[in-house]
Amino acid sequence: MKVLGIETSCDETAASVVEDGRLLVSNVVASSMALHAKYGGVIPEIAARSHIESIIPVISDALDSAQCSWKDIDAIAVTNGAGLGGSLLVGVLTAATLAIGYDKPLYPINHVIGHVYAGFMTDSNLKDYVMPISLPEFPLLAIIVSGGHSQLAIFYNHLDYSLLGRTRDDAIGEAFDKVAKILGLPYPGGPNIAKLALKGDVKSYRIPEAKLDSLYDFSFSGPKTAVLRLAQSEIGENFNFPSFELSKRLSEAQKANIAASFQYSAIKTIVTKALVAYQHYLPKSVVIAGGVAANQELRRQLLEVIPSSKLIFPDIKLCTDNGAMIATRGFYEIKSNRSPVDPYSIDVFSNLKM
Ligand code: KG4
Ligand code: ZN
């Protein structure tokens, strides 16, 4: 069974063909990131306009590189939440129109759950993808860390899952992006912090982790503010000093040390809570998902506390937003006998919950 997955929830216009929820056949991603970079974050109107321009070429490209025609496609899966309303609408309306025109069943997919399914693809027809050796098994602990979400969830099977904890304020990726701004690094901050952190010493500063009474919830707003205060005190200025001027006064060594210390502490928060969940639920697999799952420090810290045989690390290119994870989740919804949606009444939900 071949499923076409379409994803447009944020700034990536993405489409992919996945066979039997296992084999990555094509994966096309057009990002409007460069257009947002100069504003230091995603501008919803620009993202939606870019999706309109890119969506048909991206879908055609995904079918062509999969050497598929429409008759080879068995179903269409599309992200219908959570995300930016205008961006979601472009993907959903395109998918619905194609489903009607080519008479294909249509499946709406939750973006956050979709991220977890990047871990279910074990084979690839494409070069340069490092796929997990084995399929995740249930119960499955999902560590979902992205620009919009930080949550821990337990999956007992494809349709039976529950949220264990989530961020009370900023998502971890958002905190990476904000700390990057303080250090004068371009958007998106996560990969740039990770790169700079390689040159720094994690022991140079102690960024405190937020203490919460809940076992599995996170908070990243405090650590982000701690970085701001640290940068201010390092250059001998008080909190009235404009934050956008800070990076000019910090040395390269100070920036690298702050990046390393922040990354270590933020990742430690995730890994500590994930370990508590691991010890309580004794999952057979632990899947990392979302843009921050690309972070090597996260992978390193997890390998220190959880047996490598249980850890599923998707290819870095499948951690950030893509259509393949949506197609894969679509496949498993079909296999779980979920009914397709009426393409004339499919809707988008910006705040869709798990
Ligand atoms: O999953 P994603 O592509 O979009 C959302 O659904 O949010 O995640 C994007 C986020 C951004 O905040 C970006 O800074 C972060 O993932 N990110 C990283 C890394 N690569 C991307 N954060 C830390 N380390 C990385 N290597
Ligand atoms: Zn995402």
In angstroms, what CA-CA distances link 204 with 26, 236, 291, 301, 302?
A: 44, 17, 27, 19, 22
For 295-350, write each residue's pLDDT tens digit: 999 999 999 999 999 999 999 999 999 999 999 999 999 999 999 999 999 999 99
Taking every pair of Cα atoms in the chain, the longest distance, rounded to a whole number of angstroms, is 66
For 69-121, write each residue's pLDDT tens digit: 999 999 999 999 999 999 999 999 999 999 999 999 999 999 999 999 999 99
Residues 253 and 235 grouped into a single domain: yes
Residue scoring higher pLDDT (241 or 192): 192
pLDDT tops 90 at residue 163:
yes
Give pLDDT, residue 161.
97
Output the residue whose Cα is nearest ligand 1's atom 14: 190
Place of tokens 């994930």: 274
Residues lining ion ligand 2 (Cβ < 5 A) are 146, 321
Gap from CA of 293 to ligand 1 centroid (Å): 8
pLDDT band at residue 242 under the 50/70/90 scheme: confident
Give pLDDT, residue 323.
98
Paired with 7 in beta bridges are 14
Residues 245 and 330 grouped into a single domain: no
Gap from CA of 319 to ligand 1 centroid (Å): 8
Residues 127 and 13 grouped into a single domain: yes
Q: Does ligand 1 come within 6 angstroms of the Cβ of 83? A: no
Instruction: Provide the domain limits for residue 329.
Output: 2-132+315-335
Residues 109 and 223 grouped into a single domain: no
Residues 296 and 150 grouped into a single domain: yes
DSSP string, 324-350: HHHHHHHHHHHHTTPPPBPTTT----T
Residues 30 and 153 grouped into a single domain: no
Q: Which ligand is nearest to the CA of 292?
A: 1
> Of 292, 297, 300, 351, which is best to mutate to test ligand 1, by the most ligand atoms within 8 angstroms of its C-beta?
292
Residues 128 and 150 grouped into a single domain: no
